[in-house]
A and B are shown apart, each in its own frame.
Chain A
Amino acid sequence: MTPITVRVDGAAYTDDVEPRTLLVHYLREQVGKVGTVVGCDTSNCGACTVHLDGEAVKSCTVLAVQADGCEVTTIEGVGQDGLHPVQKAFHEMHGLQCGFCTPGMIMASIDLLEDNPDPSDDEVREGIEGNLCRCTGYQNIVRAVRHAAAEMRGGGGGSRNGHVSPAVVDTAAAPHVAVQA
C-alpha cells in the first residue's frame, strides 16, 4: 500500500492505495465519485475522462499513485455552483441519450474549449475524438459544444465559424412536412 493525498472536486483525501489501483477505480471505489465510469480497457472510449491538474486525462490510464499531490476534477465537481455551461448545453441540445459517455464527453469538451473557445464543427469533432458515444451519432454533441462555446464567450459574441444550428425546430405547428438541416 502507498499513501496518497489527492484533492478531488475541492476536497482533500488521504488514502492508502495499491500501486496498481487505477485512478478511476480510486475515484469510484474509495472516494465514491461514481459519476465517472469505466467503458473500456484500452483507453479508447474516454468515458472515464477527468481533469488532472486542469488537463483532461483518461483516468483508466493513470495510476492513482501518479495523482498523488494533484488536483482532480470530475463531472461531480464541474458544476458545484450550479451547472457548467457545457452541462447545460448538452441538455439544451439533446447531446446525450443513455448518458454513459456523457461525463467523459463533458469533461473532454470543457478541456477543448479552454484551448479553443470558438471551435468549428470539425474542430469539435477532432477535439472529442478520444471519446466514443454509441447513441447520438455525435451531431447533437457537436451542437452542444459549440452552443456552450458561444455561451462561454459571452452570449451574443461573434463566431468565426458561423452560428450554431438549433437542435431541432418545433414541428408541432407544421405537421406534414418539416424538413430541417
Chain B
Amino acid sequence: MTAVEDRPGVPSDDAAAPEIGRARRRKEDARLITGMTTWTDNMVLPGMLHLAVVRSPVAHARITNVDVSAVREAPGVIAVYTGQDLAEEQGSLPCAWPVTPDMVNPGHPSIAVDQVNHVGEAVAVIVARSKAAAQDAVELADIDYEPLPVVLDMEEAVQDGADLVHDHLESNTSYHFVFDAGEMGTGSDTDQAFADADVVVSRRFVQQRLIPAFMEPRSVVVQPQGDNYTMWSATQIPHILRVMAAMVTGIPEHKLRVVAPDVGGGFGGKLQVNPEEILCLLIARRLGKPVKWTETRSESLMTAHHGRDQIQYVDVAADREGNVKGLRVRLLADMGAYLRLITPGVPALGAFMYPGIYKFPAYRFECDGVFTNKVPTDAYRGAGRPEATFAVERIMDELAVELGMDPLELRRKNWINAEEFPFTTVAGLAYDSGDYETATQEALQLLGYDELRAEQQRRRESGDPVQLGIGFSTFTEMCGLAPSRVLGSLSFGAGGWEHAAIRMLPTGKVEVVTGSTPHGQGHETAWSQLVADSLGVPFEDVEVLHGDTAISSRGLDTYGSRSLVVGGSAVVKAADKVIAKARKIAAHLLEASEDDLEFAGGKFSVRGTPGTGLGIQEIALAIFAAHDYPEGIEPSIDAEATFDPENFSFPHGTHLCAMEVDTETGFVKIRKYACVDDVGTIVNPLIVEGQVHGGLAQGIAQALYEEAVYDDDGNLTTGTFVDYLVPAASDLPHFDTGNTVHAAPGNPIGAKGVGEAGCIASTPAVVNAALDAVRHLGVTDIRMPLTPERVWRALHDGGDGGERATARTNAQAVDSTDAPSTSGGAL
C-alpha cells in the first residue's frame, strides 16, 4: 500500500474485481510527493570528487593548444584531463544502428582530442573537491582553436564541394537509405504510379530540431571498488549502458554495475551512452575515488542529444476521385556532428510509417543522413514516427485541398477498414487490429465538430479577425519495439526482447524483477496489477524491482512504447511459469493429479471439490521450507521469462484540434482538443490517460513553441529555458480524451503501447487546424513552430512564414557584463 488511501469508489477489498482495467493510484507516488527520492544527484559518497567539463565555445575548429596549468593550481582542484590525456583509453562512443552496410561513422570521442565539431563538445575535464571549485576553474583553461568553416545547413551540406564536417571523409553524407516497395515486392512501381496519376501534390516540410528537455538534468556517479565499478546514472537504459560502457572502456562487463535510481523523465533523451558517463568511469578508474557529474540546464540543452531536424520532400499521387496511388518521400536527416547510439536509425524507423493508415499501392522512401556542426540528434519521443505521421497527415490535407474534397472524406476513402485487419501495408508491416471509423466518430462527438464547423463558417462570413480552423490527424504508429529478427534485418545492433523474473517470498509476498526501466511511466503499479491478476495475489503484496543490473540482470530497458507490450508480457509469461511450477507442488500436497487441479483467484483446488485447496502464497512458504515436495523437481517456484514479440503493435487514433488564429497578430490559440486512441487493452486507465496527456503536450509544443535554433556560427541561441519554450500550464488547453479498445493479438496482455501516441498524433492535427483557419486567406503552409510572427508573415507575405522569422541574429547584442532578460522582468 502506498501512504495514501486508495480511491474512494474503487473498493480495495473487492478481491474478485480484476486488477487489469482498474484506475489504481500509483505506488511510486509515495516517495515522489514527499521528497523521499533517490535522484542520482542526491547521492553523496565518502571522498567523492566533482567534475566540471570545459566545453568548446566554437562549432568547428582544430585544437592548436591546450594549457590547463592554471587549472591545476586552482583551489580545490585535484586533477584535470584533456583529450590528449585520455585519447588512448577513451575508445569511441557506440553507434548501435548501422542502417546501411556502407554507412560512414567517423567515430565519436567522449572528449575532443585535436578537433571540435560542435559547440559544447568536451575539451577538458576538471576534478575538484566541490562542484563550485570545479566550476570556478573552468574559466582558467586556456585553449586555442583554429577555426574551420561551419556546416549548418543540410541542403547546402549535401552539395558537391560543400565544406566538410569531417575533412577526412568524402562528403557530409553518412548514409543513403532506401526503401522501395516495388523492389521489396510489397507494392507496385512508384514512378509508374506517379506517371499515371491524375493529381500529384508535392510539399517540403521542415521538422525543426527539438530538445527532449527532461526535467531532471543528467547526472552520473561512479564508485570504484577495487576493479569493480558501480555507476549510478539518470538513464533510461542501465542495461544497454552497462554493455556499451564495458565495450567502450574495456572494463569487463561483470565488473560493472549500472544503477538507474529515480530518474526524472527521459522521452528518448536519456536513451544514450553519454560522453560524461564514459568520462566519469575513466576518471574514477584513474583516481580510485568516487566522482560525480551533474549537468546544468544550459549544458543539458547544449550538449544532450536533440531530436527531429529533418527536411521532408513529400509527393503524393492520386486519381481525381481521391484514391491515393502513390507516395514518395525523400528526407534529409541532420545527424549533427557524430553518430550516437541510434542517431542514424531514427529516420529509418520512421521509413515504414509514412503510408500511415492509408492503402497506398506504391511507396518509395529515401533518406540521406547528413553531418553538420551541431550536437547529434537521436531518439526523442516517437523517434522517426512523429515525422512520418506529420508528413502523411499534412500531405493528405494538401491533397484534399487540391481535389476539392473534405479532408475527412479523403481519409475515409483511403484508410484501412476495420474488416480488413490484419492488413499488410505497402511498407511491409502487418497492422494488427483497429477500427479507424469508430475512433473518428467518437472523436468528432467529443470535439463538438458540427458546432465548431458552423462557427467557423460564421467567422469567415463576418470577416472576424479571429478565424477558426479544425485539423485532423488519423494516425497509427508502430510500437512494442521490437521483434528481434526484424531488428536484425534492419541491422540494429541488439534484439528487442524483454526479460522478467518473479520471486515468491516465504511470506507469500512477490518480487517482480523487470528489465524495463521506468522513469515516470508507473511500471511499479502496472506490473503489480498484471501479477496480481496472474497469480491471484493482492496488489499490495507485489513489489517491482528494476533499474539495477545487479538486481535485474537481463533487460533492454524503456523506450519505443515497449515496456508494457514487451516487458509486461515477459512478466505475464514468468507468472505463467510460476503457476506451472506451483501446480506440481499443489498436486503433490493435495494428493491429486495435476490435470484435476484448477487455478483461480490465487488458489489451486481439485475440480469438483470446492472449499478445498491451496493458495499460491501458501505454496511459496511450503516450498521455502521444502519439507515435502515431489521427487525430481527443485524446491522453488520462482521463474523467469524472456518475451520476444513476433510483430510490432499498432496503436491508432483520431486527433482533432480546433484552433483560433488572430489574423491581426498571428497569435494562435487552441480552442479545443479531442482525441480517441486505441492502445489495445488498458491495464491502468489513469496511467494511460496521463501518458496521452503528456504526449499531447510535447506534440503540441513541437507545433507551436519549441525549436532549437543555431546562429550562423553554430551557437545554440535557445540555450536556456528563457528561449527554449517548454510550455507551462497556461500555454496548453484542456484535453478531451477517449479510447476504443481493440486488443493487440501479438502479446498476452493485448496492449499496444501508449507512451508516444499523443506526441506522434497531435503535431499535424494542430498545424492542419491553423491552416484550416487561414487557408481561405491564401495560406498553404506555416513552418513549425507556429510562432505568431510566422503565422503573420504567412498571412501577409505568403510562403510558410519561416525564412525571415528564423532570426539568427540578435541586434541587441549584450555585453557579457550586462544582464540580459532572464525570467520575466523582475529584479
Q: Which residues of A contact B (CB under 8 A)?
A: 18, 20, 28, 33-45, 47, 61, 74-76, 79, 83, 87-88, 90-92, 94, 96-103, 106, 121-122, 124-126, 128-142, 167-173, 175-181
Contacts and interface: CB of A to CB of B under 8 A. Distances in A.
Contact of A167 (B23, B214, B298): B23
B626 interface: no
Contacts of B697: 134, 136-138
A142 B3 CA distance: 22
A39 B297 contact: yes
Interface in B599-617: none
B35 A33 contact: yes
B814 interface: no
A133 B4 contact: no
A181 B446 contact: yes
B557 to A, nearest CB: 15
Most buried by B among A96, A101, A141, A171: A171
B686 interface: yes
Contact of B33 (A18, A37, A97, A102): A102
Given A128-B728, A168-B686, A172-B22, A121 B734 contact: yes
A44 B25 contact: no
B267 A90 contact: no
A88 B6 CA distance: 10
B37 A39 contact: no
A138 B729 contact: yes
B520 A139 contact: no
Interface string B12-49: 00000110111101101111111111010110000000
B216 A140 contact: no
Interface string B187-214: 0000000000000000000000000011
Interface in B57-83: none
B693 A136 contact: yes
A39 B215 contact: yes
Contact of B682 (A40, A125, A130, A171): A171
Interface string B683-723: 00111011001111110000000000000000000001110
Nearest to B681: A175
Interface in B216-256: 216-217
Interface stretch (B112-120, B385-393, B635-643, B736-744): B736-744
Contacts of A45: 215, 297, 721
B730 interface: yes
A59 to B, nearest CB: 13
B215 A140 contact: no
B438 interface: yes
B297 A167 contact: no
A74 B35 contact: yes
A118 to B, nearest CB: 18
B4 A88 contact: yes
B424 interface: no
Given A94-B687, A128-B728, 9 more contacts: A20-B132, A28-B42, A43-B823, A100-B216, A101-B215, A126-B729, A135-B215, A167-B686, A169-B23
Contacts of B736: 181
Contacts of A134: 213-215, 265, 267, 694, 697-698, 726
Given A44-B823, A98-B264, A167-B686, A34 B7 contact: no
Given A42-B822, A177-B738, A179-B442, A140 B732 contact: no
A152 to B, nearest CB: 16
A23 to B, nearest CB: 15
Interface in B67-115: none
Interface in B435-482: 438, 442, 445-446
A40 B32 contact: no
Contacts of A178: 685, 738-739, 741
B791 to A, nearest CB: 23
Given A90-B33, A94-B689, A178-B738, A99 B4 contact: no
Given A34-B42, A132-B215, A99 B721 contact: no
B37 A99 contact: yes
Most buried by A among B31, B438, B734: B734
Given A98-B265, A167-B689, A175 B741 contact: yes
A34 B166 CA distance: 44
Contact of B21 (A38, A126, A171): A171
B729 A171 contact: no
A124 B739 CA distance: 27
Contacts of B217: 38-39
B729 A172 contact: no
Given A41-B720, A42-B297, A45-B297, A35 B438 contact: no
Contacts of B407: none
A137 B740 contact: no
Contacts of A41: 296-298, 720
